[in-house]
Structure 1
């Protein structure tokens, strides 16, 4: 899937989420799982990559019950408050090594 399609799909899902906040008849689950949202953005469009990451983090932390899980091949550009980054590699293919949540 190319980057324009990924960004369009994410924007559509976030729009549905926003509609669900204003119209109770629109029921949207509070969990969004995205596989490879940064695919094909590469180093060529680094600003779009950062805007997409920032948008997803803002959406997940805006006070409306929503959790976002994004699987990426790249590390985040810097630490974000409230974001847990779990690395998976050939030694740790599952989440057994992930830190436990206190809540």
Structure 2
């Protein structure tokens, strides 16, 4: 199933727009892969890979908002994976820590 079929964008109670589960997503399922390009400039939707290199996310996954109790995580291969079962309609979240 593609990212587009697993998720949709809607208004978020956390901040602005958010990414939501179109269907139930089981723990350890790959929700999608970040698409974009490397950058050295800070800005909206920039995920920092290290102190000098950012990655400007250009796909729908850029709408994943922060939570201290996230249900998804980004990995070095640019995958976004469910940390626990996510119910249909739940907002998909990640703990930004220092990444954003």
TM above 0.5, yes or no, is no
Of Structure 1 and Structure 2, the greater strand share is in 2
TM-score normalised to the size of structure 2?
0.29
Greater C-alpha Rg: 1
Of Structure 1 and Structure 2, the greater helix share is in 1
TM-score normalised to the size of structure 1?
0.28
